[in-house]
Structures are given as C-alpha cells and as structure tokens.
A and B are shown apart, each in its own frame.
Chain A
Amino acid sequence: MPFAVEAQNLKKFYNGFQAVAGVNFRINRGECFGILGPNGAGKTTLVEMIYCFLPVSEGRLTVLGDNVVEEPRSIKKRLGVVPQENNLDLELTVRENLLVYASYYDISKPVARERADQLLHFFGLSSKANQEVDRISGGMKRRLTIARGLIHTPEILILDEPTTGLDPQSRRMIWEHLRQLKKRGLTLVLTTHYMDEAGQLCDNLIIMNRGEILEEGSPSDLIRRQVGEKVIEAEVNPSKREHLLDNLSALTCETQVSGDTVYIFIPEDETAVVDLLKNNRELDTYRVRPSTLEDVFLKLTGRGLDYADAEEFAGREYQAL
C-alpha cells in the first residue's frame, strides 16, 4: 500500500523566494503526522501543495500513491482540508454548509443529509444546525470546519493550525475529537506551532524552520535524542553568564541561552550539574523539569518557537504606548 503522503526533494519558490527548500518525508497511513515550526517556516505552503492548491515548483509529491501534478481531482476527492482561516460559507446555515460542501463531492442528497446529521452530532453542533454561521462561537466554527472536511469520509484529514486563536477549553475539545478520529483509522496531517499540541496528538513529526526540515521522529524519540529527559532552567545575570557556561562545558553539558535564562540539557545524571548550580552564588534561581518538544526546538534553532510572535507582540505593545 502506498504511503499517505510522500515527498522527494520537494521545493516551492515564490518569485525567487524559497518557501520550501527540498524536503523529504513520508507519512504513514493511520498515523497523526505533525508539521511543526514557527510562523513563516513553510508549514502552510507545504500542506497547500499536498492538497493540490499550490503548484509544486520542483521535486516529487505523491498523495495516496497519486502524483499531485497529474491527478489533483482524484486526490482531492480522498482528502479533507481544514484551512488555517475559517472559510465557512457565511451566507449559509451550519447544516447547509455541510450539505453544499457535500455536493462538490458528488454525494447524493439523502446520503449528505445523513452524514451531516451524524457529523453535527459528533461535534456537538446539532442544536445549532439551522443557525447562521456568523452567529456561532469561534470554537464551534472551528469544529464545523473540521466536520465539513469530513463530509465525504476522506482517507486523510489535513488541518492547518487547527487550534490557533482558540481558548484552552475549545482546544482540548478539538484534540479529543481528533484523537477519536485517529482511533477510527483516519490519517491526520496537522501543522502547528504549539508544542503541547504536537506532543499530545502526533505519532511522528517533522520540525521545520525556514523551509527546511531540522529533525523528524516521534515526540519522545526527538526529546530523548536531542535534549534528554530533563532540562534545567537557570536565571543568571548576563555579566556572570560566561563563568557559568565555562563550568558547565567542563561537565560536557549542552546549553542554550535565551534572554536571562540558560537552558541546560542534561545527558543522564543531573546530580553533578545540580551540585554545581547549588554552589554557584552568581545564580538567581534555577529549576529542574522534564524536557518538552519546545526544548528540542530551542536547541535546534537557537530560538523559541514563539520568537517571531514575541517580536511582533513587542512591536504592538510599543505602538500601544
């Protein structure tokens, strides 16, 4: 059986700018595959090529065994798409959104009605079926967009940042729905810049930055391989940082500096490092915690995932002043 998705040396250029820089990856059927990276990493470009929206510039991309260049229509019949921006049909009701979308897939009206009702029930939207789309909450719109992507019972569901902009409760609800869909054997491909989301949902993932894949594997493998089980965050005054880093490198620890914080990735036994930190008077505070994917990303790129966002945010705050 062919892979759900297979990319070989896949590239995408926009007027000379390279958004995807020759990536190779494979997505197995039935898995939840994550594409992680900060804003501008090329995640959306990548999935838009998978669902045959953007033409491939170079390389080879197959979905369920078919080449995206040759068979876009038959590929699109077997894919469900949940784009980053909700693009629900605002002139239609909740239920009509599903029914009209079903018509694009040649689904007969009785079958469409039955599936629409099942999906509305599954996503807890039955009571809103006849409401105008504009009048339901953001979380509901998101769930409706996912329901719409499932109306033709696709083999792969592509979700571009499915929970961006949602409150924690809505996010958890969507995660729960996605887990249930995976249990039923649906292949999920999701992009996200939330590490907890990827850690919760994905079997395998790739970490992207500036159009390139930096690492790939399962979340636990990546953490073990890249940063070890635990991380120490130490707050230290920049003027005294060098001395600490010298001492740490003597213990063969890998470190990463971000602002006033030094992240210390501990290979196996933390006692030697903790002893060093305890006896260090230059240190303000430190804490030991289990490592996460965020640490993997920080180590790989030398910056936090939200770096681009943070910069933008600081700009906005400054303007507010």
Chain B
Amino acid sequence: MPMLKSLQAENTRPSNKIITSYKSVNRWAIKVFSRNLVVFKKNWATTILFNIVEPLLYLAALGAGLGIIVADIEGMSYIQFIAPGIVAMSAMWSAAAECSYDSFVRMHFQKIYHAIVATPVSLEEVVVGELLYGTFKSLLSGTVIMAVIAALGLVLSPWALLVPIVLILNGLVFSQIAMIWTGLVPKIDSFAYFFTLVVTPIFLFSGVFFPLDVMPELVRQLAWLLPLYHVVVLTRSLTIGLVSFELIYHALWLVVFILIIFPFPQALMRRRLIK
C-alpha cells in the first residue's frame, strides 16, 4: 500500500506538524476552553480570591512596609513603582499555575485529554484550549489587581486601558512555558523545580521590585531575555503614562516569543500521551 505509506510519512513530516500546530487555534480549541469555563463558573469567587490575596499581601508588605525606608525610584514612590509590576507578576503566576498543576491534574489524574481526544477534537486543539484558559486566568487576575491599584490611586494614565492587551500576551507566554513542563514532567511533584528554577528567578529579576539599572550590566542583558521583563516595562509605562515608541519593541518581543514556542507544548504533549 504505497499510497498509504506516503500519506503517513507526510503527516509526520516536521514542517506539516508545525502547520497543524498553528491551525489548531480554531473553534474546536474554543470548545475545550469553554469546558474549563463551565468549571470556572462554579467556583469563580474562590478562584479570584486566591488570585488576588497574595499580590495584595506583596503590595501591603513591600509597598506600604518596605516603601517607608526606600527612596523614590525614577521619581516614583516605592508603592507606585512596584504596583504595576505586581499586576504583571500575579498574571504570570496565574497562567503558570493553571497550565502546570491544574493542567497536569486534568491530563494525568482525570484523563480528560484522553476523553476529549476520542471526540472530533484533536490533542493539539485540547492543548490550545488549555493555553487559552491559562491566558484567561492570567487576564482575569491581572485585571482584578489593576482595579485594586486603580482604587488606591496608583493608576495615573488612561493609557492603562491597554494593560489588558499586555496581560493577554503575558498569559500566552506563561501558559505555553508551563504547558511545556506539563508535557515533560514525570510526576506532579516535579513542578516544584519549575517554580523554583524558572518562575521564581523570572519574577525576582524582571524589574518588579527594583529597577534593573542598579544591577551589573550582565544581569541587565540577561533580563532582556526574560519575558516578564518586557511585560513589566509595558505595564509600568502604560500605568504611569510614560509612553514612547520603544514600547512597540517590547510588545513585539512578546509576540515573536509566543509564535516561536507555540508548536512545542503540543509536540511534547503528543509525544507524552500518544505512543
């Protein structure tokens, strides 16, 4: 059956896999996202509460507490400086947690991916649905914190209305990074390494708590490689209304990053689940 063999070979060719991967952003993926929304509607209040408690504690302890002894940064009070960074950071944590622990539970313990793949939905589309949900969670928690800091008088410019777009990019980036780990880790405990070795360093060295100018040149250059750094620059600039053309490059950096790593979560999940 030479015809069949050539077809199979075509389906497994790397270039076709990559095209399939981008094509899986479609209405089937939205169905998977909607399934997660059905669950979200049951416990949205606790979900939101959990998402905002920690960032608010940071804001209180560091902004109000540490802020008393820290000098103004770039003409801003310390709480004003860190507030937009905390928006970015909490949005990152939401996406990263959703697409690591929560996705792993759905995939590994509840076998939900297996159940959905038996329907017309493909595994690639399941992964995209999960990424969209992680992005949604990220947008949600970032927006809630944004509302809180606005109420505290820490949002200075109407440019801040563009922050949700930044949060969506942020959500996509960290949903993808977390989903890559979900495709790789042998057991759920292994996510501890992900948070200790990947998420925590990113969150400490992306300019949330201190301006990177104070760090050695090498650290500054390395920070440019961290996606959260660009998110923090964008969020802070828009919040305080310090808008320049340069911000486009930061946004582009995030878009390119998202597009480049896009096929990886799907490929790893396929390798993991389908032998």
- A positions within 8 Å CB-CB of B: 14-15, 51, 53-56, 59-60, 67, 69-70, 72-74, 76-77, 79, 81, 83, 85, 87-92, 96, 100-101, 103-106
Residues of A near B38 (CB, < 8 A) are 92, 96, 100
CB of B121 within 8 A of CB of A104, answer yes
Complex Cα distance, B115 from A88, in Å, reads 8
CB of B8 within 8 A of CB of A56, answer yes
CB of A54 within 8 A of CB of B274, answer yes
Complex Cα distance, B120 from A53, in Å, reads 11
CB of B274 within 8 A of CB of A90, answer no
CB of A104 within 8 A of CB of B31, answer yes
Complex Cα distance, B115 from A76, in Å, reads 12
B86-132 contacts to A (CB < 8 Å): 110-112, 114-122
Complex Cα distance, B42 from A90, in Å, reads 13
B7 within 8 A of A: yes
Residues of A near B34 (CB, < 8 A) are 100, 103
- Closest A residue by C-beta to B112: A89
- Closest B residue by C-beta to A8: B1
CB of B274 within 8 A of CB of A60, answer no
Q: Which 10 A-B pairs have the closest CB atoms?
A: A87-B111, A104-B119, A81-B118, A87-B115, A91-B39, A76-B120, A73-B120, A77-B120, A100-B35, A14-B275
B4 within 8 A of A: yes
Residues of A near B1 (CB, < 8 A) are 59-60
CB of A85 within 8 A of CB of B120, answer no
B11 within 8 A of A: yes
Residues of B near A106 (CB, < 8 A) are 120
B interface, over-half SS: helix
B82 to chain A, nearest CB (A): 35
B111-170 contacts to A (CB < 8 Å): 111-112, 114-122
- Closest B residue by C-beta to A152: B119
Residues of B near A72 (CB, < 8 A) are 122
CB of B4 within 8 A of CB of A76, answer no
Q: Can you show 20 pairs from A to B with CB atoms below 8 A apart?
A: A53-B114, A53-B118, A54-B275, A60-B1, A69-B8, A73-B122, A77-B120, A83-B111, A87-B110, A87-B111, A87-B112, A87-B115, A89-B112, A90-B110, A92-B38, A92-B39, A103-B34, A104-B28, A105-B119, A105-B120
Other A-B pairs, 13, CB within 8 Å; known A69-B7, A104-B116, A104-B120:
A53-B117, A53-B274, A54-B274, A54-B275, A59-B1, A67-B4, A83-B115, A83-B118, A101-B119, A103-B34, A103-B35, A104-B119, A105-B119
Residues of A near B35 (CB, < 8 A) are 89, 100, 103
Complex Cα distance, B35 from A89, in Å, reads 10
Complex Cα distance, B6 from A70, in Å, reads 11
Complex Cα distance, B113 from A85, in Å, reads 13
B97 to chain A, nearest CB (A): 16
B128 to chain A, nearest CB (A): 14
CB of B4 within 8 A of CB of A60, answer yes
Complex Cα distance, B28 from A15, in Å, reads 31
Tell me which of B1, B119, B275 has the highest count of chain A C-beta atoms within 10 A of its own C-beta. Answer: B119
Given B7, B11, B119, B274, which contacts A76 in the complex, CB threshold below 8 Å? B119
Complex Cα distance, B119 from A53, in Å, reads 10
- Closest A residue by C-beta to B115: A87
Complex Cα distance, B158 from A245, in Å, reads 96
CB of B118 within 8 A of CB of A69, answer no
Complex Cα distance, B28 from A106, in Å, reads 9
B33-78 contacts to A (CB < 8 Å): 34-35, 38-39, 42
Complex Cα distance, B122 from A256, in Å, reads 48
Complex Cα distance, B42 from A36, in Å, reads 43
Complex Cα distance, B11 from A60, in Å, reads 15
Complex Cα distance, B38 from A101, in Å, reads 12
Complex Cα distance, B115 from A53, in Å, reads 10
Complex Cα distance, B118 from A72, in Å, reads 10
A8 to chain B, nearest CB (A): 8
Given A69, A83, A104, which contacts B4 in the complex, CB threshold below 8 Å? A69
B270 to chain A, nearest CB (A): 10
- Closest B residue by C-beta to A53: B117
- Closest B residue by C-beta to A74: B120
Residues of B near A60 (CB, < 8 A) are 1, 4
B1-16 contacts to A (CB < 8 Å): 1, 4, 7-8, 11
A223 to chain B, nearest CB (A): 34
CB of B118 within 8 A of CB of A76, answer yes
Residues of B near A103 (CB, < 8 A) are 31, 34-35
Residues of B near A56 (CB, < 8 A) are 8
Residues of B near A89 (CB, < 8 A) are 35, 110, 112, 115
- Closest B residue by C-beta to A81: B118
- Closest B residue by C-beta to A14: B275
- Closest A residue by C-beta to B32: A104
B224-275 contacts to A (CB < 8 Å): 274-275
Residues of B near A87 (CB, < 8 A) are 110-112, 114-115
- Closest B residue by C-beta to A89: B112
- Closest A residue by C-beta to B7: A69
- Closest B residue by C-beta to A77: B120
A215 to chain B, nearest CB (A): 26
A61 to chain B, nearest CB (A): 10
